[in-house]
Chain A
Amino acid sequence: MGEFAVSLNNIRKSYRLGFSRRRVEAIHDISLEVESGKVFGLLGPNGAGKTTALKILLGIVFTDEGTGSVLGKPLGDRSAHHRLGFLPEQPYFYDFLTAEKALDLYGRFFGMGREAFKSRSSALMDMVGLRRDSHLTLGKYSKGMLQRFGIAQALLNDPELVIMDEPSSGLDPLGQKEVRDVLLRLRDEGKTIFLSSHQLSEVESICDSVCIISNGKNVTGGPLSELLEVRGVDRITLEGENPEAPARLEPLSVKVEQAEGVTVLEVESAGVYRALDAARELGMTLLSVEPYRRSLEDLFLESVKEEPV
């Protein structure tokens, strides 16, 4: 196990709201760890505390209790910010600046030399497909263009850790794929990616591990491969349909589905051979046997529905 790029330990955070300064708990108790070089997804329904957790990592809000670190530095230590990039969910940029000027502004905070800045910003604008529009003020950009610009500015300092809040927000399917490609490229380069997202298919396809939170608390988390694998259940895929199949196979299976000439059984591991024998007797052809893996959506819904709203 490598060192942790991000860690939060028993974080608690509340806000005081309104004239009466009523205390509202945003985070009750959240702990998580993100290994360096891995892609991590923070998931949860609206109001779960994801944005507050991101703000805590960035030093924008402060914890009531708990500890944590970002790139080996304690929470709130600005020196870590030289090595991280942040993509906000909404286009929170100065809209009176052109994309070029806005990148220049952010580049100056990192103390980038002029030549290094020019080549880096040029490459990034090419990567996000905004070079032709880089002279326009950000106020004239569409939501999708702003999201692309957000990705460019988040990568300006070639960060070790990239924190992204809903990276595909506002993008069309093509844009979403491009973002996914960028994330995969960053992963291949060994960057640590911490993303908060509602796009479960995106998270499932690129994340190594996830943490699901609800009502400000951890619900479940860990490596995705372990979380999605259902121990003791295998999935058998057979070719061919037989009217007798349901009656023969259902007593041997957890679940049977038949569609377009393919039958899929979910079977307890101990009963795999019995199910295969029955299928052979029904004249069906074996296509595959594999450990059953549920989707992230299934896991998310199961985890969250148990939590009171």
Chain B
Amino acid sequence: MRNIWTLAVTVIRDTARKKIFYVVLLFGLSIISISPLIPTFELGSQARFLRDISLSLTSLFGVILAVILSINQVPGDVGKRTIYNLLSKPVSRLQYLVGKYLGILMTLAIILFVMGLEILVLIYARLQVFSPVIFQGVFAVFLESAIIAAFCLGLSTFVTVPVNAFATILFYMLCHVKTGFLHAKLIDEASGGLVKIASWTFYYVIPNLENFNLSEQVGYAGGVSWTFLARISGYALLFAVLFLIIGHLVFRVKDL
């Protein structure tokens, strides 16, 4: 555990050096810039609208950040050969991969938490409405970003950066459209056997990222239950672990 933690802290240091934390400033400016667009109807609707649109923006930033943080961790260390010195120490390849992932998660958590605070402050400053429920939505974005980061990091152990970027974007899109499209194919009587098998495989093998879209619940309802949050946390954990295991199975026997 000590090695994993040490590597995770190093990822955060590297991120700080690359000034990725500045993204929270960019995010703050983005939501401030959209606030004049808020329709001038009743106060409750304005707050709901602002929560909804801020969360959508958070989700976009979260996924982009997850890809930026994950895509070059392993290829960067291999390319610069810094990995040689790390693996010559008593650090296993599994510890290395998990340490990198934990560092990415911690960075995402810090950035998304600050983004949540920004939304909270903006809504309060603009409308004098206190909306701590926004953090439920931010937490769901964190879980979604965690899955994307695990997919991207796992893939980065055996594909090049451009291929990984393309595959991750494709994966993200597939994970969002699958609920509608694949489910329709599954229940469509007209679908052939092969289409049904493929639909079934994709439907159950790839995660449904729509589970983490709480814009409606957080924006327009009173939020979600703790049980629901625990359930989507378990769901995210399951897929994150699966993608890391796949990455590790390749990485553990890879010549560096």
Contact = CB atoms under 8 A, between A and B. Distances in A.
B81 interface: yes
A81 B89 contact: yes
Interface string A103-115: 0011011110000
A90 B88 CA distance: 14
Contacts of B90: 78-79, 81-82, 109-110
Interface string B57-99: 0000000000000000000000011111111111110000000
Interface in A82-103: 82, 84, 86, 88, 90, 92-94, 96-97, 101
Nearest to A57: B88
Given A105-B10, A109-B91, A153 B85 contact: yes
A123 interface: no
Interface string B204-245: 000000000000000000000000000000000000000000
Given A105-B6, A105-B10, A111-B2, A78 B81 contact: no
Interface in B1-25: 2-3, 6, 10, 13-14, 17
Given A55-B84, A97-B10, 19 more contacts: A55-B255, A58-B84, A58-B87, A62-B255, A78-B91, A81-B91, A86-B84, A86-B88, A88-B81, A88-B88, A92-B81, A92-B84, A96-B13, A101-B13, A105-B10, A109-B3, A109-B6, A109-B89, A111-B2
Interface in B79-124: 80-92
Interface residues of A, number: 29
B253 interface: yes
8 contacts: A15-B255, A58-B87, A79-B90, A81-B90, A81-B91, A86-B84, A88-B85, A101-B13
Interface string A156-197: 000000010000000000000000000000000000000000
Nearest to B14: A96
Interface of B: 2-3, 6, 10, 13-14, 17, 80-92, 253, 255-256
Nearest to B255: A61
Contacts of A108: 2-3, 6
B81 to A, nearest CB: 4
A106 B89 contact: yes
Nearest to A58: B88
Contacts of B13: 96-97, 101
Contacts, number: 71
Nearest to B86: A109
A78 B92 contact: yes
A309 interface: no
Q: 3 nearest interchain CB pairs?
A: A86-B88, A109-B89, A61-B255
A182 to B, nearest CB: 18
Contacts of B256: 55, 60-61
B89 A92 contact: no
Interface in A110-127: 110-111
Contact of A94 (B3, B10, B84, B87): B10
B108 to A, nearest CB: 20
A64 B22 CA distance: 47
Contact of B85 (A62, A79, A92): A92
Contacts of B91: 78, 81, 109
Given A86-B88, A153-B85, A92 B2 contact: no
Contacts of A232: none
Residue from the set A92, A97, A111 with the largest chain B CB neighbour count within 10 Å: A92
Contacts of A94: 10, 14, 82
A90 B79 CA distance: 13
A47 interface: no
Interface string A1-39: 000000000000001000000000000000000000000
B16 to A, nearest CB: 9
Contacts of B89: 81, 106, 109-110
A77 to B, nearest CB: 10
Nearest to B18: A96
A247 to B, nearest CB: 60
Interface string A65-88: 000000000000011011010101
Contacts of A101: 13
A93 B84 contact: no
A250 to B, nearest CB: 54
A59 interface: yes
A87 B88 CA distance: 9
Contact of A92 (B3, B82, B255): B82
A5 to B, nearest CB: 15
A59 B158 CA distance: 18
Contacts of B85: 86, 88, 92-93, 106, 153
A109 B13 CA distance: 17
Contacts of A106: 85, 89
Nearest to A83: B90
B150 to A, nearest CB: 23
